[in-house]
Amino acid sequence: MHPKFPLFLLGLMWLGATCASAQIDDFDDGELSEWTILDVLADAGAPAGTVSFPDKGVRLQSLTSPDPEALGPSRLALVWGGAESTDVTAIMDVVAWDSALFQDMGILVRGTDIGLGTTGGYAWSYDVDEGKAYLSRLDSEAAATLASEELPLELDKDYRFQITAIGKDITGTLSEASAPDVPLLILSAEDDLFTEGETGIFTNAGVPDGTTDATCDNFAVFDPVAPSDLLTLTEMRLLENEVQVDFSVSPSAGERYLLEASSNLTEWSPLANVLVPLGQVQGSLATSRDGAAVRFFRVGVEPPYYVEDFEGDSFGS
């Protein structure tokens, strides 16, 4: 179904309600005011891991576990300080990692009883040495694989990890951070052991004497609502040579939006489009002014204009 488009008239300012906001941290301030560092080995008396901020990301480095049999392998996590979530989407970009280490890096949602030997929840992670993505359920820190698939990652690229839990449906998506609307991998599973909890990011050693080293950026967590439900035009500015339209969307959208114009509300012409990445709630589109006395604009999710499935045995007519 083609989405509904908000409409407004050139020369009028239209203000609407803002949409539900995402909780976002790009780590540019070099602070963890909204986070709790979870270093279960340090809490047990082992040397602490390191959290630093290179290139405005956040780097997690953990040391070798002093007693892997009793304490488990090396690991380090950050737990977000927002309210516990039921239906939830969380994203982060992985921007650097030590490919020589046997380690995993990922996101946790619906985290419960977070601590040494007690953590539960759902994880979307990548095993560096295996070159494999895992969708897992954690129960007392023990991982049970819900789905997995091999996917080589390139060290010179940034990758976006997204996990969504709606009811019993758990889905992990992995894409290049530069093209978040083009998934490289989507894995899904059903599980209802955990229904709510906290959100966090983590690294975990894959061998008893291992260490971890990974850098993340652009974290966001939000309630996964339908993209078109919260599309709202917020402002229009008449500049000397152009018209600029601002709008707000659901943080779960991750859609490309289209600006169209009409003089009669019947015939519409596309003018510009823009991608609003997942987790962001504001978009802006601009077009040149013309001499029309009356001009209407609308903004909506950009539709596919032509689809050919090639199931027939000829081209066209």
* Side chain identity at residue 2, one-letter code: H
The pTM score is 0.74
CATH number of 7-20+226-301: 2.60.40
Query: What is the Cα 57 distance to its own chain's centre?
Result: 15
- Average confidence score pLDDT of the chain: 84
Handedness of CA 219, 223, 226, 227 (dihedral sign): negative
Q: Using the CB atoms, write b or e for 218-229: b if 16+ within 10 Å.
A: bbbbbebbebbe
Sorted by where each begins, the domain ranges of the chain are: 7-20+226-301, 23-222
Nearest residue to 183 (alpha-carbon basis) of 200, 163, 201, 167: 163
Q: Which residues contact 73 (CB under 8 A, 6 or more apart)?
A: 65, 204, 205, 206, 207, 208, 210
In tens, the pLDDT along 260-300 reads: 888 888 888 888 888 887 667 788 888 887 755 556 778 88
At residue 80, the pLDDT reads 95
> Nearest Cα to 251, choosing from 90, 124, 122?
90
Architecture of domain 23-222: Sandwich (2.60)
Count Cβ neighbours within 10 Å for each residue of 64-94 and write b for 16 or more, e otherwise. Answer: bbeebeebbbbbbbbbbeeeebebbbbbbbb
Give the pLDDT band of residue 3 (cuts 50, 70, 90).
very low
Per-residue pLDDT band at 7 (split at 50, 70, 90): very low
CB 313 within 8 A of CB 20: no
Instruction: Report the alpha-carbon distance of residue 246 to residue 258 in Å, rounded.
Output: 12
DSSP 219: E
Report yes or no: 168 and 191 within 8 Å, Cβ to Cβ: yes
Calpha distance 112→196 (Å, rounded): 8
